[in-house]
Amino acid sequence: MAVVEKHMRCPAESVVEILRDGWSYAAWVVGASRIRSVDARWPAPGSTIHHSAGAWPLVINDKTVARRWDGESRLELQARGWPLGEARIRIEVVPDPHGGCTVTMTEDAVRGPGTLVPRPLRTLLLVPRNRETLDRLALLAEGRGLATGSSAA
């Protein structure tokens, strides 16, 4: 299981706003090349983001389903990317006392050929990708905080 953590210099609410915006996912999720549609209820459990991955002409169209959302700090997803398979992802946002927050992303393959890759190798492949994903999320969230005047010191 790949676990990546990043401290962000913005309020947790800035990160949560981005998680709520399914249309923003291609801007920060590494591998997502475009968003085709987002359920109006996103990220309520059972709602879906229809996305594409890859570069034209090698594009895979699939979807990500919200499995759990507490509205303020924890989002769990089931991301599909067939023919590679499916992954379970958990994103947790924890405010810190200085106005920033720590975001933890946990991911592992749960269905399909990806589960045949030994877990240590899966982790080795997922950690750099997820570090970049959180770096992109931080750029958006911290930039949003600056734009609204609510960045952490």
Q: Using one digit for the tens of pLDDT, what is the confidence trace for 62-83?
A: 999 999 999 989 999 999 988 8
Q: Which two tokens stand for residue 69?
A: 């959302």
pLDDT for position 152: 57
Tens-digit pLDDT profile for residues 14-63: 999 999 999 999 999 999 999 999 999 999 999 999 999 988 898 999 99
- Tell me whether residue 49 is exposed, middle or buried, using C-beta atoms within 10 angstroms of its C-beta: 0 to 12, 13 to 18, 19 or more: buried
At 148 the pLDDT is 55
pLDDT at 151 over 90: no
Angle formed by the axes of helices 12-20 and 119-148, nearest 10°:
110
Task: Give 138-150 pLDDT, tens digit per residue.
Answer: 999 999 755 555 5
Domains of the chain by start residue, with CATH: 2-147 (3.30.530.20)
